[in-house]
Structure formats: C-alpha cells, structure tokens
C-alpha cells in the first residue's frame, strides 16, 4: 500500500502473517463505494486492502486514522466529485429506498 496510508503498529515480527479471506455479502451506499474505489485507485491498491486498513485503524481506537493528514483534502475532493455529501455522524439518518421499486 502507498506510504500515505498509515500503518498499524508494527507487529513483533516482520514475518508474513498468514490469513484466510472470506467473501461477505455487504451492501454499502452507492456514493461511498465510488469514493472508496477512487481512493483505492489513488493509492494503487485493491479495495480489499483499503477496507482492511480502514477497519484495522478503526479498531485501534483513540482517533486512529488510516490516512495521513495530507491525503484528507484529496479524499474530500473525491467526496465532492461523487456527491457524497454526508459525514461520519450521518449514518443514523440513512433511509434506504425500497429495493423492489
């Protein structure tokens, strides 16, 4: 991953950490997905790697952020481009359209 994505605290060993990935059925807001894909492309990484990095930083707590401060304006521009006009505290307001319409 690009160096502008913060790394979680280094593990005790630099040995590869074997993992098993599973397919999950997750549905996300359409504009958010567009921004996520743009950010992954910006960092020349996969959407999987980007999401894992974001989740790991979130799980660290204490205001851990997956991105360095100089990247936030770029992400803000992607949000404008894709009209993602909501923020971190707005998810409780999400109201999904009836999928059968």
pLDDT tens for the chain, residues 1 to 101:
445 665 545 556 788 999 999 999 999 999 999 999 999 999 999 999 999 999 999 999 888 889 999 999 999 999 999 999 999 899 999 999 876 65
6 assigned to some structural domain: no
What is the C-alpha radius of gyration for the chain, rounded to an integer number of angstroms? 15
At residue 93, the pLDDT reads 92
17 assigned to some structural domain: no
Interacting residues of 18 by C-beta distance below 8 A, sequence separation 6+: none
Residue 36: which domain range? 30-86
Q: How many domains does the chain have?
A: 1
- The SS3 call for residue 28 is coil
- CB–CB of 2/45 below 8 Å? yes
At residue 33, the pLDDT reads 98
78 assigned to some structural domain: yes
């Amino acid at each position: 991953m690009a160096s502008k994505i913060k790394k979680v605290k280094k593990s005790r060993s630099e040995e590869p950490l074997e993992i098993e990935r599973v397919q999950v059925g997750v549905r996300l807001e359409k504009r958010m997905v567009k921004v996520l894909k743009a950010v992954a492309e910006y960092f020349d990484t996969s959407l999987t790697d980007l999401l894992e990095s974001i989740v790991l930083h979130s799980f660290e707590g204490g205001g851990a952020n997956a991105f360095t401060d100089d990247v936030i304006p770029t992400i803000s521009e992607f949000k404008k481009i894709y009209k993602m006009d909501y923020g971190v505290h707005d998810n409780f307001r999400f109201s999904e359209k009836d999928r059968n319409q």
